[in-house]
Structure 1
Amino acid sequence: MPASGLTTIGFDADDTLWQNEQFFRTTERRFVELMSDHAEGQDVEALLLEAEKRNLSLYGFGIKGFTLSMIETATQVSGGRVPASVIAEILAAGREMLSHPIEILPHARETLERLAGAYRLVLVTKGDLFDQERKLAQSGLEGLFDAVEIVSDKSAAAYARIFARHGDGPRRSMMIGNSLKSDVVPAIEAGSWGVHVPHELTWVLEHVEAPVAAPRFRSIANLGELPALLDTIG
């Protein structure tokens, strides 16, 4: 039975329901190797991160923006002399990421199946529209959700709007995800419950302090613990 008053549960996608960050890390290591003739690995990583920060407002989150940031960094590191063959390798790496098979995380499917019907389940994910739609379709999880929201960024206003549209407002909703910055803190700010499900790899730009003093903050080790947590919420 649903927890008292709670009717709607939002789920993040990347690194909550399926693997994502590990593919970025693998590609970044390949990129650092490509640039090894021009700069030390840690310098390349730092410059790439700065490019990603600059470009978020232009390209948004996702693989396409990451690929463009690698090209920009390659041009910077090489003093504008990066060979066309290297650019081709970077583009190929981006295409490979965009076609990589989906790897569902443990407990994701069985937890969604257990909660479907008892709560309104909403997928709330950010990033490139085409890529997120592709991953959801390949995951085989789409039919378990009552609604899907793919947003450019996650904010308290976005959660308030989403939970008003697909539920009974943020006060009767919960958001689950691996990112404290994107999934938990803004959901709590909107008035929802925020449940952190840590992943071993989380992008450095998603790191913030856990809101441990917030009454509606919870943390679980994996999605398999979610049903039991819901039983404790009165």
Structure 2
Amino acid sequence: MPKSANLTTIGFDADDTLWQNEQFYRLTERRFAELLADHAEPDRLSERLLAAEKRNLGSYGFGIKGFTLSMVETAIEVTNGRVPARVIEQILAAGREMLDHPVETLPHVTDTLERLAATHRIVLITKGDLFDQERKLAQSGLGDFFDAVEIVSDKKRNTYQRIFSAVGDGPERAMMVGNSLKSDIVPAIAAGSWGVHVPHELTWVLEHVEPPAEDPRFRVIDTLRDLPGIVAEIG
């Protein structure tokens, strides 16, 4: 396929860039708050759960399974170890429901991937649980657009350097597209790539950082429908 003179490889985040994700965490957290309503106020429970998630990232990584275990841990903490077995059972059931939820692709995803795959290498770069991300990709029907799929434990500068050097022409001739400034944009730009932020209405609080607004390789678009124009501009 023909290649752009400057930009040859485009990486895409998955969760909340290609398909819905965070909304299911929010719904489950509300359900969790209802289960523990007799033991903690919703705001306080949310704080305790977030603290547990932060503590557990190094052990469980990102994804639904770690979130579910953090809910169990929080339930034990706020009840001083007296959480009823039925509550633990319902927390585990909520986690399984998240893992079984149908994939809902976001607007303009298919058309944009189809258009850009004709001119550029397209790479999926996502973090989280291997089985869950593979499931979502398979259910999405988007797999054929990607020249490579990378499911990683975290996204840092060296992650993008490694991937774009292995499957592209180096980070300087690559672009990363995603909804998370912290995971998708800032480290990709630090690696030498372009970063295109596609904000989602819901973003996990641990993914919040200030945008690199002054960096010449930073762009923001409203939806993926606007991405081909950015790609054409960069050339």
Name the SS for the 2:138 alignment partner: helix
* Structure 1 position 111 matched with structure 2 position 79: no
Amino-acid identity (%):
71
| Contact 2:4 2:119 survives alignment (8 Å) | no
| Contact 1:3 1:230 survives alignment (8 Å) | no
Q: Deviations over 1:131-177 (max 9, x none)?
A: 00000000000001000000000000000000001000000000000
User: Matches of residues 1-234 of structure 1 in structure 2 within 5 Å?
Assistant: 3-234=4-235
Q: Structure 1: how far apart are the matches of 2:59 and 2:177?
A: 27
TM-score, normalised to structure 2's length? 0.98
Counterpart residue identity of residue 187, structure 1: A
Q: CA deviation at 1:4?
A: 3.6
Q: Structure 2: how far apart are the matches of 1:117 and 1:54?
A: 43
Q: Structure 2: how far apart are the matches of 1:163 and 1:30?
A: 40
Name the SS for the 2:6 alignment partner: coil
Q: Structure 2: how far apart are the matches of 1:2 and 1:19?
A: 31
Q: Structure 1: how far apart are the matches of 2:199 and 2:5?
A: 26
| Contact 1:176 1:196 survives alignment (8 Å) | yes
Q: Deviations over 1:51-103 (max 9, x none)?
A: 00000000000000000000000000001000000000000000000000000
Q: Structure 1: how far apart are the matches of 2:150 and 2:233?
A: 28
Cα root mean square deviation, aligned: 0.8
Q: CA deviation at 1:229?
A: 1.1
Q: Deviations over 1:170-194 (max 9, x none)?
A: 0000000000000000000000000
Name the SS for the 1:148 alignment partner: strand
| Contact 1:167 1:173 survives alignment (8 Å) | yes
Which runs of structure 1 show a deviation greater than 6 angstroms over 4 or more consecutive aligned residues? none
| Contact 1:3 1:233 survives alignment (8 Å) | no
Q: CA deviation at 1:117?
A: 2.5
Q: CA deviation at 1:111?
A: 0.1
Count of paired positions: 234
Q: Structure 2: how far apart are the matches of 1:215 and 1:115?
A: 22
Name the SS for the 1:227 alignment partner: helix
| Contact 2:156 2:183 survives alignment (8 Å) | yes
Q: CA deviation at 1:232?
A: 1.3
Q: CA deviation at 1:3?
A: 4.6
Q: CA deviation at 1:2?
A: 5.3
Q: CA deviation at 1:211?
A: 0.2
